[in-house]
């Protein structure tokens, strides 16, 4: 648009795949092959270069990245039955999780008191409807995984991983007057997310981006 700087772009390409039944190592290898397929396809489509894993280097904090100077950034995530890759012209991180029951103790290890209130839907974060070690029937698992994937997308964008204390990257979700929600974070970054079936997927970019989401057909021959 005239008079405004062009926004950076991001693309999240995702694919549903078969769910794990046995042999976690073999399943992880299967998902890695799917991610490789997505990376090769989108590198050709978006960057007009061939993806070669031998060319991937370790950047700051050990994060896998393409060689500097080419404005090519990518990140990969996988969870049971789902694989996604994010691409951009700036630094990004992506995380996806299948919504499933969780334990209260796990939530308290990574969430602030305000986030616990949001997950429980109460104003007293000390309230716990079940013992700490048990599956929390009163907890909204969807809300937890909204927060978890946002936190993970941030630490994957920076490359710090779980070395970064997750309670130090906190979120609040504010309703907009015109509909939708605004994602507010204690750290800097542009955050976007979607619920896709039984999965939450979150994207974090170093700066504001215009993002597209692309569903790919199920894998064949993998």
Q: Is residue 108 part of a domain?
A: yes
Q: What is the pTM assigned to this prediction?
A: 0.90
The pLDDT value recorded for residue 3 is 43
Tens digits of residue pLDDT in 158-199: 999 888 999 999 999 988 888 788 999 999 999 999 999 999
Bigger pLDDT: 103 vs 30: 30
Q: How far is CA 195 from CA 1, 88, 126, 167, in A?
A: 30, 21, 28, 23
The pLDDT value recorded for residue 39 is 97
Q: Is residue 166 part of a domain?
A: yes
Mean per-residue pLDDT for 2-31? 87
Bigger pLDDT: 58 vs 4: 58
CA 9 – CA 16 distance, rounded (Å): 24
The pLDDT value recorded for residue 89 is 95
Report the percentage of the chain scoring pLDDT > 90.
69
Mean per-residue pLDDT for 4-33? 90
Q: Is residue 220 part of a domain?
A: no
Helix (H, G, I), strand (E, B) or coil at 109: helix
Q: Is residue 222 part of a domain?
A: no
Q: Is residue 217 part of a domain?
A: no
The pLDDT value recorded for residue 22 is 78
Q: Is the pLDDT of residue 130 over 60?
A: no
Q: Is residue 138 part of a domain?
A: yes
The pLDDT value recorded for residue 70 is 80
The pLDDT value recorded for residue 115 is 95
Mean per-residue pLDDT for 32-51? 96
Q: Is residue 126 part of a domain?
A: yes
Total domain count for the chain? 1
User: What's the domain range around 129?
Assistant: 8-211
> Domain holding 21: CATH number?
3.90.470.20
Dihedral (CA of 109, 115, 120, 126) sign: positive
Helix (H, G, I), strand (E, B) or coil at 133: coil
Residue 137 pLDDT level (bands cut at 50, 70, 90): low
Q: Is residue 218 part of a domain?
A: no
């Amino acid at each position: 648009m005239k008079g405004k700087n062009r926004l950076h772009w991001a693309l999240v390409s995702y694919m549903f795949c078969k769910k794990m039944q046995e042999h976690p190592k073999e399943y992880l290898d299967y998902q890695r092959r799917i991610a490789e397929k997505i990376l090769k396809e989108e590198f050709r489509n978006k960057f007009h270069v061939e993806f070669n894993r031998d060319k991937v280097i370790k950047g700051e904090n050990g994060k896998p990245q393409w060689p500097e100077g080419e404005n090519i950034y990518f990140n990969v995530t996988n969870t049971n039955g789902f694989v996604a890759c994010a691409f951009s012209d700036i630094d990004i991180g992506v995380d996806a999780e299948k919504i499933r029951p969780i334990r209260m103790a796990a939530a308290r290890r990574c969430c602030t008191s305000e986030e616990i209130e949001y997950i429980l839907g109460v104003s007293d974060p000390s309230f716990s409807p079940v013992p700490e070690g048990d599956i929390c029937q009163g907890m909204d698992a969807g809300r937890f995984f909204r927060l978890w994937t946002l936190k993970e997308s941030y630490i994957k964008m920076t490359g710090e991983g779980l070395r970064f204390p997750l309670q130090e990257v906190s979120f609040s979700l504010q309703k907009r007057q015109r509909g939708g929600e605004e994602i507010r974070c204690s750290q800097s970054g542009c955050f976007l997310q979607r619920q896709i079936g039984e999965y939450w997927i979150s994207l974090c970019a170093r700066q504001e981006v215009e993002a597209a989401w692309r569903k790919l057909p199920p894998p064949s021959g993998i």
